[in-house]
Structure 1
Amino acid sequence: MSPAMTVVWLNGRLLPAAEARIDPADRGFTLGDGLFETIRVSGGTARHLDRHLARLADSAALLGLPLPYGIAALAAAAGGLIAAQGRAEGVLRITLTRGTGARGVLPPADAAPTLLMTLVSAPPPAGPVEAVIAQSTRRNEHSPLSRVKSLNYLDSILARQEAAARGAGEALLLNGAGRLAESSVANLFIVREGRLLTPPVAEGALPGIRRALILERDDAGEAPVSVADLLGAEEAFLTNSLGLRPLLRVDGQAIGAGTVGMATAALLEDVAAE
């Protein structure tokens, strides 16, 4: 546990991180039966918190996982944790599990969920990245789990390990149809004829928060993205709640001029100004 994580919020109360305890029988630990949200904290405020909490609630409903606190209570808890740590910049994580249960896959009828919030220092800004297209695993666009941030990230871990072994900083995942879905930790956008395009959720893309913000622009939309579309794009970039990374090369081939393009640069400025 990070030494900077001095205080956490666990099941309704703030307490020193060293005193926080999760039951060994918690299904989040034993089965990955849970969800999480990662939220950028800037200027002492959890950015787009309402969208994150709405996604958490929707995902919990999809899994039949009780959400033990209302949205207003969760927002107040996040604000209390930020204030308790006195941290203006950082990364807030909300982890929700189904809580403890007997052995077996079927959830208990009387589930008592575990809800943990942590806050750590923000990482350094991520710069441009080169990626590979993962060969070791694919994104399952037919699974409802592709639409939630579940505690099981093993496909992303496999893909990211493969990228590291191949000397790249990120991995892109294909779906079952052989089209691009997203990266191991971010949504994918390409720029084609000046328009921003991202794979639809039906193609296996997570409904990311920053992705949704960009799609609200007039010059952005959804479309299936093939490998040829990506390699022939004018620009490409990756987005998640913590920021935006220009994608310069894929499998050794430059995207566009192989430099940060104008559309990507403008979006980077927008993120920095939040």
Structure 2
Amino acid sequence: IGYISFHDTMDFSIAIRTATIVNKKIIFSVGGGIVFDSDPFDEYDETMHKGRTLMEVFKGKEKSLDTNRYVWINGSIESIDHANINVADQGFLFGYGFFETIRVDKGKPQYLKEHISRLNQTWEHLFNERIPDLTWEDIIYQVISSNGLLEETAAVKIIASKGNCEKSFFDFTLIVMAKPYIHRLAEKKEQGVNLVVYPKPRQTPLADYKTLNYLYYLLAGEWAKRKGADEALILNPDETISETNTANILLIKDKTFIRPVSPHVLPGIMEKVVCELLSNWGYMSESKKLYPEDLFLADQVIITNSLIGAVPVLNIDGKKLRTPTDLWMKINNAVL
């Protein structure tokens, strides 16, 4: 640490006994002074002793704060910092796997039967192997309980990875993890989301599943946020609407709800629940090709997924849609 001046002078100091905090991580260095007759083993022991002293202090603080998170991995509960996967796992190497995201309210998984049914269908299609016989409700309870989330709303993710193909025996990686969930509108002044049309259309049969090949959607979402929006509107190659980067989309016109037709799109759990609810409320159902300009002709537009329920869309590419009614709130009161 020091300076180089414009007057041919400089002054530097070696930063010892110094810790730097970056992104909630503490970074520090330890070492020893090496001279002619230094013993390598003694110097190593001294360095480890210095480092160990600081680490014990930080570990003690961490325990007192109880900030550790736990995951269920292949049958056991592990600290998230100590859970490991095989580097030869095809999920790690190629994104060969899939996941389900489930909302859990005060220990109760929402629409668990529907999520596990979709998980099993995806397992059969992608892995072409026997579905594991697991009591998912008990596993989710273990994870929720271990993370102190029994009295909160949590987002639970089940991850299934293909494993190491070089082994003939069952070698899949199964992970269940949980974290607190706060509804995305809770921190927004506007009661709705803003969309921007993603300029890179998507068409792949993998869109029918929640695969670990999620980079396209991740980049689309990050691009949308850089544009000042909440979600990216994903189009098909013919420029018709498919979905957003995290949700299905529905148009409401008079007493009809319209689902966009897309060659490949995730069959949403919450989308199905909401459509069944609207049908029970007397709405007619229609599916057809939709273009971004059709959104401006709708009475209202909503997006749906298992965490948010139903949320209204306020504008597209900075252009306001029609003001939504309280229909989305009535839907959430019924489905969440």
**Separation in structure 2 between the aligned mates of residue 176 and residue 192 of structure 1, nearest angstrom:** 25
Residues 1:144 and 1:194: Cα distance change in structure 2 (over 3 Å): same
Displacement after TM superposition at 1:268 (Å):
3.2
RMSD, matched Cα: 2.2
Displacement after TM superposition at 1:23 (Å):
1.1
Residue 256 of structure 1 aligns to a residue whose secondary structure is coil
Query: Match of 1:123?
Result: 182
Query: Match of 2:320?
Result: 254
Is 1:239 the counterpart of 2:298? The answer is no
Q: Choose from 46, 53, 76 the match for 2:116.
A: 53
Residues 1:214 and 1:183: Cα distance change in structure 2 (over 3 Å): same
User: Quick one: which amino acid aligns to residue 229 of structure 1?
Assistant: D
Query: Match of 1:204?
Result: 264
Q: Choose from 167, 177, 199 the match for 2:228.
A: 167
**Separation in structure 2 between the aligned mates of residue 67 and residue 33 of structure 1, nearest angstrom:** 17
Percent of pairs identical after alignment?
A: 28
Q: How many residues align?
A: 259
**Separation in structure 2 between the aligned mates of residue 250 and residue 234 of structure 1, nearest angstrom:** 14
Which stretches in structure 2 are left out of the alignment for 5+ residues? 1-23, 25-65, 186-190
Normalising by structure 2, report the TM-score. 0.71
List, as ranges, runs of 4+ consecutive aligned residues in structure 1 with deviation greater than 6 Å.
none
The one-character-per-residue Cα deviations of 1:46-103 (angstroms, maximum 9, x if unpaired) are 1111111110110111112536622x5223212222233331321110000001235x
**Separation in structure 1 between the aligned mates of residue 302 and residue 255 of structure 2, nearest angstrom:** 14
Is 1:80 the counterpart of 2:142? The answer is yes
Higher RCO, 1 vs 2 (CA within 8 Å, ≥6 residues apart): 1
**Separation in structure 1 between the aligned mates of residue 231 and residue 213 of structure 2, nearest angstrom:** 19
User: Quick one: which amino acid aligns to residue 214 of structure 1?
Assistant: V
Is 1:42 the counterpart of 2:105? The answer is yes
Displacement after TM superposition at 1:199 (Å):
1.9
Is 1:149 the counterpart of 2:200? The answer is no
Residues 1:232 and 1:203: Cα distance change in structure 2 (over 3 Å): farther
**Separation in structure 2 between the aligned mates of residue 109 and residue 222 of structure 1, nearest angstrom:** 47
User: Quick one: which amino acid aligns to residue 141 of structure 2?
Assistant: G
User: Quick one: which amino acid aligns to residue 254 of structure 1?
Assistant: K
Displacement after TM superposition at 1:9 (Å):
0.7
